[in-house]
Amino acid sequence: MERKCIRCGESMILNCQLSLSEGVGSIYKKRHDYYIHKGETLTQNRLPIAIAVCPECGYVEPYVQYPKKLLQ
């Protein structure tokens, strides 16, 4: 599935992950996983959030690959 940047129309790079650095000058990255799920408790239907990045303007957009799975 192709995604177009809403800012400039360029094709976006899909399936990127978000990593956060902790502390000034840290030499490591700690990975945080983010999910979308339906209901108040974590379910087996939780879906990972992926990141799309525009190689032209740098716009970053979170998305879920298969959102219809939340309907199950």
Burial annotation 27-54 (CB, 10 A radius, 16+ → b, else e)? eeeeeeeeeeeeeeeeeeebbeebbbbb
pLDDT of residue 47: 87
pLDDT in tens, the chain (72 residues): 799 999 999 999 999 987 766 666 655 545 557 888 877 766 667 888 899 999 999 999 999 988 888 887
CA atoms within 13 Å, Cβ hemisphere of 32: 6
Q: Domain spans of the chain?
A: 13-71
> For the whole prediction, is pTM greater than 0.85?
no
Q: How far apart are CA 53 and CA 47, in angstroms?
A: 19
Residue (of 3, 2, 1) closest to 59 by Cα position: 3
